[in-house]
A and B are shown apart, each in its own frame.
Chain A
Amino acid sequence: MEEILEILSEIHPDVDFENEEGLADRRIIDSLDIVTIVSEIADRLDVVIPAEEIIPENFNSVKALSELVRRLDEE
């Protein structure tokens, strides 16, 4: 979770990622940001997020994204 928070903060330093729960729905992060996030996660955490998992629910909060990464890592 810490590492994901760090990745997000590097992309948008001005956003309060710890408390925000509508990152994708409210377009705080857009499709270009999402691709950057996916690349960073693949690079730093060695977890590949497939295209079918790129849906707003998985990217709306740090918690949701961390949960997705944990699930994919376990699989």
Chain B
Amino acid sequence: MIFTSLPFVCFMVITVIIYYLIPKRVQWCFLLLCSYVFYTIADPRYLIFIAVTTVTVWFTAIRIEKLHMEQKEYLKLHSKEISKSDKQAYKSKMKSRRMKWLLLGLLLNLGILSVTKYTNFVIANINNIFKGAVSLKRADIIVPLGISFYTFQSLGYIIDVYRNKQQAQHNLFKFALFVSFFPQLAQGPISRYGQLAPSLLAEHRFERKNVSYGAMRIVWGYFKKVVIADRIVAGLTTMIGDEKYTGAYVFCAMLFYAFELYCDFTGGIDITIGIAEAMGIKVTENFNLPYFSKNIKEYWNRWHITMGSWFTDYIFYPISVSTPMLKLSKWSRNHLPAGIGKRITVYISCFVVWLATGIWHGAAWNFVVWGLTNYAVIMISQEFEPLYARFHSRFNVKGKAPYELFQIIRTILLMSMIRMFDCYRNVGLTLRMMWSMITSFKISVFYDGSLMDIGLTASDYMVLLVGFAVVLGVSIIKLKKGSVRDGLYARSSLSFYNIMAVMLIVTLVYGAYGTGYDSSQFIYTQF
């Protein structure tokens, strides 16, 4: 039951209606039931995986919290009788006990994630390395829907409890809802407990504004997904599916994929946030106009925000400020050139983060190369920053509109280029296709009718062009004036509903439901 299917639309509407009809105190129970129904319909075998993650994380978090309380009580009672060094020793002993529980929770759940997602990747690589000598069979393992998302969300929670930044949830079923909340189960966002749980577990009375805002967001998400992203797929699949499409076709495929991925992923997140919003539940935003970024670092602060912040808080910082890294930092300052010496820990930690980001996206080398290419570009940009600063002050271009436009286009092209590793799904092929953009670029492809032979008709291009203009227009309004929905609703609720109705009709009429259409997947559900 995927978001774009009719059964899901019915499921979503019925859920929201019943949510407001039942007693408020059982609203969260109803959502838990709906979430498990949703997951069971996807595949009943998935249930065991999400149940194991839920129970183990819930239990270990409570154990960790108990140790925090025990320490607090002990120090409160004995702080006057024990020396400072005894106090430190006691704290260190308790920290080590908490760490054992944390590691148990982390290793168990990362173990499940690794086995389900990466076993066949490891087998394929072993077979490749020992060609002829070893031939292991592919393992018949299912990969539960959204496992990367709900595992990371759960691990973030347990780390926060370990850090004493979050109180543990003692009600298993309430915690189960946090892990399995159906709108965000398939493709995120990766929410933090402290941000999602208060509104998820709260009682909500019907408010027209919440339902209207949620509905508008849902319709907008479907528009991006069904009218734009799913329409581009036909042309894109043709161009990346045959190696005869080189040069200008590759450039075209690169831009098509950038636009498709944006509309697919942000569309899915809009639907997620919209469903939650309709029930008064606040889900963290995952995008902030990423294609208006002026450099790659800014782009990663605006694209898939919850994943980026997860990696920063739970991997990048702990590695960077770990004792071995601080020792390395001290050594490198004394023995290496000043610039490198100061930044060596940043280089290493970033490398680990981007390697992990690549692997998180998929069990394939193209994702590893994609992650490490991002790393290389970010590090090079970081090193060039003094040069950029000199350029900006020499030519006085910083903040000037034409230069900012140049920076935005440069960032879009750079990110689209890196994303080709994800698009072609094969490192060698991607590199050959990139090279062909230099060696066999025929500009005539854009005007001699060649693009009419890739599975898209003139009317498809017209719809895409209008769709692009609408998405760009809405984004510019959001950038300049803030929330578009707020502006519409404040002006007149009638125009708000009229626009929503028009969007809905356009989505129903111009959605790509024709032959060859396959909406079986949102791109990010496979991660």
Residues of A that sit less than 8 Å from B by CB: 27, 30-32, 34-36, 38-40, 42-43, 48-52, 54-55
Contacts and interface: CB of A to CB of B under 8 A. Distances in A.
Q: Is the interface of A mostly helix, strand, loop or mixed?
A: helix
B97 to A, nearest CB: 17
B321 A35 contact: yes
From A30, A31, A32, A54, residue with most partner B Cβ within 10 Å: A31
B346 A51 contact: no
Given A27-B301, A32-B346, A32-B382, A38 B321 contact: yes
B321 A48 contact: yes
B116 interface: no
A13 B382 CA distance: 16
30 contacts: A27-B301, A30-B301, A31-B312, A31-B316, A32-B346, A32-B382, A35-B316, A35-B320, A35-B345, A35-B346, A38-B320, A38-B321, A39-B320, A39-B321, A39-B329, A39-B342, A39-B345, A40-B342, A42-B326, A42-B329, A43-B326, A43-B329, A43-B330, A48-B323, A49-B321, A50-B321, A51-B163, A51-B317, A51-B318, A55-B165
B163 A36 contact: no
Nearest to B84: A75
B240 interface: no
A7 to B, nearest CB: 11
Contacts of B326: 39, 42-43, 48
Interface residues of B, number: 24
Given A32-B343, A50-B321, 19 more contacts: A31-B317, A32-B350, A34-B317, A35-B316, A35-B320, A35-B345, A35-B349, A38-B321, A39-B329, A42-B326, A42-B329, A42-B330, A43-B330, A48-B321, A49-B321, A51-B318, A51-B321, A52-B163, A54-B313
A36 B346 contact: yes
A19 B206 CA distance: 45
B174 interface: no
B317 A43 contact: no
A30 to B, nearest CB: 7
A31 B345 CA distance: 12
B410 interface: no
B339 to A, nearest CB: 11
A52 B301 contact: no
Contacts of B329: 39, 42-43
A73 to B, nearest CB: 13
Contacts of A48: 321, 323, 326
From A30, A39, A55, residue with most partner B Cβ within 10 Å: A39
Contacts of A31: 312, 316-317
Nearest to B326: A42
Contacts of A34: 317
A14 B343 CA distance: 20
Nearest to A34: B317
Contacts of A51: 163, 313, 317-318, 320-321
Given A31-B312, A52-B164, A36 B343 contact: yes
Contacts of A54: 313, 317, 321
Interface in B345-363: 345-346, 349-350
Contacts of B478: none
Contacts of B163: 51-52
Nearest to B298: A27
Interface string B157-192: 000000111000000000000000000000000000
B297 interface: yes
Contacts of B320: 35, 38-39, 51
Contacts of B350: 32
A54 B312 CA distance: 10
Given A43-B329, A43-B333, A30 B297 contact: yes
Nearest to B311: A31
B83 to A, nearest CB: 15
A50 B318 CA distance: 8
Contacts of B312: 31
A40 B346 CA distance: 12
Interface string B305-317: 0000000110011
Contacts of B301: 27, 30
Contacts of A30: 297, 301
Nearest to A40: B342
B169 to A, nearest CB: 19
A40 B382 CA distance: 18
Contacts of A40: 342
Interface in B321-338: 321, 323, 326, 329-330, 333
B17 to A, nearest CB: 39
Nearest to B342: A36
Nearest to A35: B320
B382 A35 contact: no
Contacts of A50: 321
